[in-house]
């Protein structure tokens, strides 16, 4: 049966099996009604179905009377940047992020150049069934323009970040192994790294839009990439997902730097230059707390999801934030996860650190994470969560997003799935054995 995943993250589905033309037009039309008349920015992550989806979205928006600025194939954060830069009332990135080739999605932005909040998303969905009722007449249709400078404007803004010495990075001439999984990164990352004076060895950087491997940049999908780092004697491996909001690093030894360390090192560098509040989600490593404590700064935690992190960052006036999936967020120039921003911070940090990527990794607080999907069958997930709350009531508990329990030697985060009869369990401890032992313990408690 065709399925369509509708959430605050956007409208996501398999092309031809849920994400069909009727659905695309329906949701794009509802989004136009939500935004009102005005200019809307459109981009795509370059996957093979992007052109088809883009033309449908653009057609629907023009039919609603909205002007459309097409900035072409580019990272998701480039669309966020250009909504603000071009003073648009909204933006849509056509990208299913790290999902495989057959998937695509509409990522919906608000007029601030940020992902729609839960409240905004609910408002749009409330008018969904009326979306096809009020298209513009022939002489009030919107106008389509192309803006090829959108990506260059984004890159230039990132290069102007404070605390970044571009000339010194250029002199260092870092040798980088770059893997863009043939997505939007192939259009953006080589250009950025060239401006930073890096010697770049490219793999999976064609512009075919067909992913040569599973596109999620997790260690099990990156063995050939890790081997290529060693083969080419690169100082750094840089991997991005198809829409370039996640930054994954590989050490000079071809070992995973770890996505959790991507955000940890970025926060460590930023706090060394400027003191302030930090926001990460509830599933992000405790290493962030250790680093913040080092600088006398405070960490706040939000529910999982970029929009939730951004919302919390605004509430506490945070100077940096992100997620343990490799997403670095600064309030400027893009209030969202951005691998280009993360790359510039990482290179400056490594430059000032003066050692190798392996040494930088070893200098960070050491933790290990274990993740499990626990099948619960017909059991009520809310009852399971409530029983865990009662059992561990003497510990530090956070229920803003499922249940996170902080113990002295580890923490555990339990989240129910909205699409499967499972509970996701993430456990972090100081060593791999303890993390896996605790994860097995909770697996047994929930399964029995």
Query: pLDDT, tens digit, for every residue of 51-73?
Result: 999 999 999 999 999 999 999 99
The pLDDT of residue 341: 98
Cα angle, residue 267 at apex, residues 315 and 153 outer, rounded to 5°? 80
Q: What is the mean pLDDT of residues 227-233?
A: 98
The pLDDT of residue 27: 97
CA 168 to chain centre: 29
b/e map of 385-407 (b: 16 or more CB within 10 Å)? beebeeeeeeeeeeeebbbbbbe
Q: Say which CATH topology domain 368-447 has.
A: TATA-Binding Protein (3.30.310)
The pLDDT of residue 419: 66
Contact between 340 and 178 (Cβ < 8 Å): no
Place of tokens 């249709």: 141
The pLDDT of residue 165: 98
Q: What is the Cα–Cα distance from 59 to 61, expressed in whole angstroms?
A: 6
Joined tokens for residue 281: 């989600």
Q: What is the Cα–Cα distance from 142 to 138, expressed in whole angstroms?
A: 10
Find, among 233, 209, 244, 222, the residue nearest to 98 by Cα: 244
E strand intervals along 114-174: 144-146
**Residues near 244 by Cβ (< 8 Å), separated by ≥ 6?**
45, 75, 76, 77, 78, 180, 183, 184, 185, 188, 189, 338, 339, 340
Band of the pLDDT at 124, cuts 50, 70, 90? very high
Find, among 227, 235, 237, the residue nearest to 179 by Cα: 237
Q: What is the mean pLDDT of residues 74-100?
A: 97
Catalytic residue, candidates 29, 95, 97, 283:
97
Place of tokens 């063995």: 223
Q: What is the Cα–Cα distance from 324 to 329, expressed in whole angstroms?
A: 11
Q: Higher model confidence: residue 324 or residue 170?
A: 170
Find, among 299, 177, 179, the residue nearest to 246 by Cα: 179
Kindly state the helix (H) or strand (E) to which residue 396 belongs, with its residue range.
strand 396-398
The pLDDT of residue 19: 96
Q: What is the mean pLDDT of residues 159-179?
A: 98
Q: What is the mean pLDDT of residues 226-244?
A: 98
Question: pTM of the entire structure?
Answer: 0.95
Query: Counting every residue, how long is the chain?
Result: 448
pLDDT of 1 > 60? The answer is: no
Domain 166-250 sits in CATH 3.30.70.270: no
97 is catalytic: yes
The pLDDT of residue 417: 81
Among the residue ranges 128-132, 150-154, 354-358, 399-403, the one predicted with the least confidence is 128-132
Q: What is the Cα–Cα distance from 323 to 308, expressed in whole angstroms?
A: 10
305: left (phi over 0), alpha (psi -120 to 50) or beta: left
Where in the chain do CATH 3.40.120.10 domains reside?
4-150, 166-250, 259-363
Kindly state the helix (H) or strand (E) to which residue 335 belongs, with its residue range.
none
The pLDDT of residue 16: 93
Q: What is the Cα–Cα distance from 115 to 121, expressed in whole angstroms?
A: 9
Q: What is the Cα–Cα distance from 181 to 203, expressed in whole angstroms?
A: 8
Where in the chain do CATH 3.30.310.50 domains reside?
368-447
Q: What is the mean pLDDT of residues 132-139?
A: 92
Q: What is the Cα–Cα distance from 202 to 217, expressed in whole angstroms?
A: 16
Say if residue 152 is preceded by a cis peptide, omega within 30 of 0.
no
Contact between 225 and 109 (Cβ < 8 Å): no
The pLDDT of residue 368: 96
Specify the CATH number of the domain 4-150: 3.40.120.10
Q: What is the Cα–Cα distance from 39 to 69, expressed in whole angstroms?
A: 7
Band of the pLDDT at 2, cuts 50, 70, 90? low
Q: What is the mean pLDDT of residues 92-99?
A: 95
Place of tokens 């619960």: 376
Specify the CATH number of the domain 259-363: 3.40.120.10
Place of tokens 């339990």: 414
Q: What is the Cα–Cα distance from 327 to 338, expressed in whole angstroms?
A: 6
Tell me the H-state helices in 274-379.
287-294, 306-316, 339-353, 357-363
Q: What is the mean pLDDT of residues 153-177?
A: 98
């Amino acid at each position: 049966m065709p399925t369509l995943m509708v959430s605050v993250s956007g409208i996501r589905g398999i092309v031809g099996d849920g994400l069909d033309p009727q659905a695309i037009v329906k949701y794009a039309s509802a989004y136009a009604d939500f935004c009102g008349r005005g200019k809307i920015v459109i981009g795509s992550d370059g996957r093979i179905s992007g052109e088809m989806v883009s033309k449908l979205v653009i057609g629907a928006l023009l039919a609603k009377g909205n002007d459309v600025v097409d900035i072409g194939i580019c990272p998701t954060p480039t669309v966020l940047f250009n909504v603000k830069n071009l003073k648009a009332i909204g933006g849509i990135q056509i990208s299913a992020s790290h999902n495989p080739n057959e998937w695509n999605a509409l990522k919906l932005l608000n007029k601030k150049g940020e992902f729609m909040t839960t409240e905004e998303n609910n408002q749009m969905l409330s008018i969904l069934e009326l979306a096809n009722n009020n298209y513009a007449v022939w002489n009030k249709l919107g106008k389509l323009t192309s803006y090829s400078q959108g990506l260059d404007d984004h890159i230039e803004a990132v290069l102007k970040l404070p605390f970044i010495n571009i000339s010194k990075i250029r002199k260092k001439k870092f040798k980088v192994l770059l893997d863009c999984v043939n997505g939007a990164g192939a259009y953006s990352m080589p250009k950025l790294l060239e401006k930073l004076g890096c010697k770049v060895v490219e793999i999976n950087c064609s512009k075919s839009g067909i992913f040569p491997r599973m596109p999620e940049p997790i260690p099990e999908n990156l063995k050939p990439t890790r081997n290529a780092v060693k083969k080419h004697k690169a100082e750094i491996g840089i991997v991005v997902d198809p829409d370039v909001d996640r930054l994954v690093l590989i050490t000079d030894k071809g070992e995973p730097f770890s996505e959790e360390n991507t955000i940890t090192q970025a926060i460590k560098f930023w706090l060394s230059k400027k003191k302030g509040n930090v926001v990460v989600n509830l599933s992000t490593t405790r290493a962030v707390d250790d680093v913040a404590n080092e600088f006398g700064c405070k960490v706040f935690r939000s529910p999982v999801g970029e929009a939730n992190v951004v919302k919390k960052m605004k509430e506490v006036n945070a100077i940096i934030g992100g997620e343990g999936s490799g997403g670095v967020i600064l309030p400027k120039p893009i209030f969202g996860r951005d691998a280009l921003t993360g790359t510039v911070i990482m290179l400056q940090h490594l430059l000032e650190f003066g050692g190798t990527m392996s040494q930088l990794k070893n200098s960070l607080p050491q933790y290990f994470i274990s993740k499990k999907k626990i099948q619960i069958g017909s059991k009520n997930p809310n009852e399971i969560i409530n029983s865990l709350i009662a059992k561990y009531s003497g510990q530090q508990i956070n229920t803003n997003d499922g249940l996170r329990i902080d113990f002295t030697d580890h923490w555990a985060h339990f989240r129910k799935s909205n699409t499967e009869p499972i509970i996701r369990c993430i456990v972090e401890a100081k060593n791999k054995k303890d993390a896996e032992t605790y994860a097995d313990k909770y697996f047994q408690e929930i399964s029995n």
